Chains A and B, each alone.
Chain A
Amino acid sequence: MSRKIHHLVVLLTIAALIVAACGQATPVATEAPSPTDTQAPPPPVETQAPPTPTEAPPEPTPTEEMIGETYKIGFAPAITGPGASLGAPEHETGQMLSEQLNAQGGVVGPDGVRHPVEILIFDTETNPDVAVSVVRRMIEEENVQVVVAGTTTGISMAIVPIITEAQIPYISMASSGAIVKDPDTGVVREWAFKTAQDNFASAQWQALYLTAQGYTQVCHLSENSGYGADTLAQAKRAFEPAGIQIVYEDSFERTGTEFPQVASVQTSGCQAVVVGAIPPASSNVSIALRDALPDLPIVHGHGTCNQDHIDLMGAAVAEGMVSPCGKVMVSDTLPDDDPQKDVLVQYVDDYTAFTGKPVNTFGGHGWDALMLAVTAVASLPDGLDLAAQRAAIRDFLETGVKDWPGISGVYNLSPEDHFSLGFDSLTFVKVENGAWVFFPEDQW
């Protein structure tokens, strides 16, 4: 008898799990693609799929306008996993843009034909294997015109060979220059673009600040990831010409509990610590450093430009920490003639209204990447086949994006330069009373 009860309990539990999983389905009637892998069961993610033309509410536009094919943009941020604090705002930005595109009925092509735009949202779980399988699915099964993915450098590097082979344009939201240019040969990757500011630009700002403070000997701690390793490499490139010596460099695990690096920092005699990490690792290591060395200045990179970084270590510990960040963090203090100001203010208003949370740089990277994709598909003439559409998007990105104000900076893409955001796209900020404030050079 107990055996039957046991069977019943197990069946009920499985049924409950299935019901809970299906209960997460979107309110829209169309079938949303499920991004899960075949091996371990990651939880199903909400995917938003705007209605296809046949199910759309009546168009608010005049009836002479033709409705063309639906353009699909494959969007895969890292909604879960260690990169989630960066990927979640990107995800929310994607959902916000998706809603806006639905409301306006898509984009109008150069021949006056209206095309609905679908943003297919997947989760890479900050796992390169999952990212690769998700991107493959986007390309081969969903037949997207352009891929926007890769919250972190590691994920983006894993995606690059896939999109190169498939000859589909790819816009990454991560920061390493290696994503768009092969570091060994210096050849620009034909199909890859990125929207996050470069780690080298971040290192240049750090060098500038350190020089202004008179520090010549620094320690560099980086997290054990593609991003962390790149911050170290770029720091070496930027610090050497400025006469700053890295006397101690080491890495740490994102999930570490103890930080033996601190002992070495103490004995190395450095005057400041430069940290290359993203939250929560950046917060953990900062706490460890502050406990042991309360007066040692800490300079972070632009991977920390969100509120999580401050909240996870507490305002008291974070007080006084500086980093280079995108202008979106301090948009209200910018001068009115700044070319990005209008775009920034609009984004800040939209984002805070949509999510109820403060903005951060990473949502901005997502917005730039998606808007570049949307602008590119809007430029597509009618009647091209999929391969030609993908090539046309790539050509547009290389030639049609000039003085384009985005959230992360002003873009000037070209065949030789697939990201174009440099030193000027960042600004310097400081933590004061638990929030980011603008920290202009005259106050250093």
Chain B
Amino acid sequence: MKRSTYQNKYQILRYILIFLILAILVVVLGSRKNFGPLQYAQLSLDGLRGGAIYALIAMGFVIVFNVTGIINFAQGAFVTLGAMFTVTFYNLNAPLPKSLHLLLSVIAAILVTTCIGVLVERLTIYPARKSSPLTLIIITVGVFITIQGLSLLVWGADAYVFPAFTTLEMSDRVFRWLGMVIKAQSFWIWGIMVLVLVCIAYFFNFTLLGRAMRACAVNRLGARLVGISPGRMSLVSFGIAAAVGAIGGIVVAPIIRPSYDMGLSLGLKGFVAAIMGGLVSTPGAVLGGLLLGFLENVAAGVTKAGLKDIFAFILLILTLLFRPQGLLGVRKTTVETDGAH
């Protein structure tokens, strides 16, 4: 039974008022640059594309946090690994048609990254499972730095080239519709985000393993009493987070040139998105991601675009100050932490 997160209509009115004020501010700033509705639409669309990437990464954060109570800062590393492994596998010589080759490389990269996620959990989180969540979070930071360093050793400092999914070449199909520019890769990103969301929802609601994980998230001790092993749930959650992170890295790779350090800023933005969504549910993560991408892009477009990253972190601070439970979260007086037993 979910309590309504918006207790009374005055709260809703307050948020609508804030939204209106911001919208007016945006229009005023935009008019200084002669923005028309076309520019706003383009900025929104691009922002939603970036937001979809953040959403995929945020889902990983949310899944791990729900089951284990840890913020897994190594999530950005999984993003990097997904993209880089796909590049490596795709560059192997194989007598296959390009589309099949890419598909197999993608699948192989996701599998490898999932295994690495599982290894990370077993080698670094599981032995420290009786420590406080803070210790575990610091451990994940160490894991991120280690994986980034190893990525540098393996792939070097160069930026790599990744083919777009539609054309299987570097240059992508561009759709021009009503004056707006939409790259074909954007549809892939949105589509895959929806697909992942649906799969995750199905997994958590209709499969035994998924419901066991939810049980673990709701009440760890109770789950243990009915025979669910929190250790194993933790392992599965890291595996899923790694897979989802890898998918995020793979779909964004044709747009940016993947390199060993692409995970840092993407991981941080994904973290902000997860916080904005409330860290409670994957739909919340998606909502947070899309909202973050949209707001940051529009804000940067109407002011100085060089400040885009600053807006993302301003949003983080504002969220934590005024609505720490995020969009879909329920305000708690204490944070439930049973420790990751």
Q: Which of the residues A85, A257, A291 comes within 8 Å of B174, measured between beta carbons?
A: A291
Enumerate chain B residues within 8 angstroms of A84, measured Cβ to Cβ.
Answer: 156-158
Tell me if B's interface is mostly helix, strand, loop or mixed: helix
In the complex, the number of residue pairs spanning A and B with C-beta atoms less than 8 Å apart equals 125
Q: Which of the residues A13, A43, A251, A264 comes within 8 Å of B153, measured between beta carbons?
A: A43
Enumerate chain B residues within 8 angstroms of A313, measured Cβ to Cβ.
Answer: 170
CA distance A252 to B29 in the complex (A): 19
Range of interface residues on B (Cβ < 8 Å): 35 or more
Enumerate chain A residues within 8 angstroms of B39, measured Cβ to Cβ.
Answer: 263-264, 266-267
Binary CB contact string for chain B from 30 to 58 against chain A (1 if under 8 A, 0 otherwise): 00011110010011001101100100000
Q: With A253-B309, A258-B49, A263-B301 as known contacts, state yes or no: A279 contacts B252, CB within 8 Å.
A: no
CB of A4 within 8 Å of the partner chain: no
Enumerate chain B residues within 8 angstroms of A85, measured Cβ to Cβ.
Answer: 158-159
Q: Which of the residues A224, A250, A257, A311 comes within 8 Å of B256, measured between beta carbons?
A: A257
Which residue of the partner chain A has the closest CB to B305?
A261
B256 near A284: Cβ-Cβ < 8 Å: yes
CA distance A259 to B301 in the complex (A): 8
A250 near B149: Cβ-Cβ < 8 Å: no
CB of A233 within 8 Å of the partner chain: no
Binary CB contact string for chain B from 240 to 271 against chain A (1 if under 8 A, 0 otherwise): 00000000000010011101011001100000
B157 near A9: Cβ-Cβ < 8 Å: no
B47 near A263: Cβ-Cβ < 8 Å: no
Enumerate chain A residues within 8 angstroms of B156, measured Cβ to Cβ.
Answer: 80, 84
Q: With A9-B123, A291-B181 as known contacts, state yes or no: A263 contacts B42, CB within 8 Å.
A: yes
Q: Which of the residues B34, B300, B305 comes within 8 Å of A268, measured between beta carbons?
A: B34
CA distance A280 to B149 in the complex (A): 20
| Distance of A44 from chain B, by nearest CB (Å) | 9
CA distance A256 to B308 in the complex (A): 9
B157 near A292: Cβ-Cβ < 8 Å: no
B46 near A260: Cβ-Cβ < 8 Å: yes
Besides A80-B152, A88-B157, A317-B170, 11 more A-B contacts (Cβ < 8 Å) are A13-B123, A84-B156, A250-B304, A250-B305, A251-B304, A252-B308, A257-B53, A260-B43, A267-B33, A267-B35, A312-B159
Chain B residues proximal to chain A, CB less than 8 Å:
33-36, 39, 42-43, 46-47, 49-50, 53, 122-123, 127, 145-146, 149-150, 152-153, 156-159, 161, 169-171, 174, 181, 183, 252, 255-257, 259, 261-262, 265-266, 293, 297-298, 300-301, 304-306, 308-309
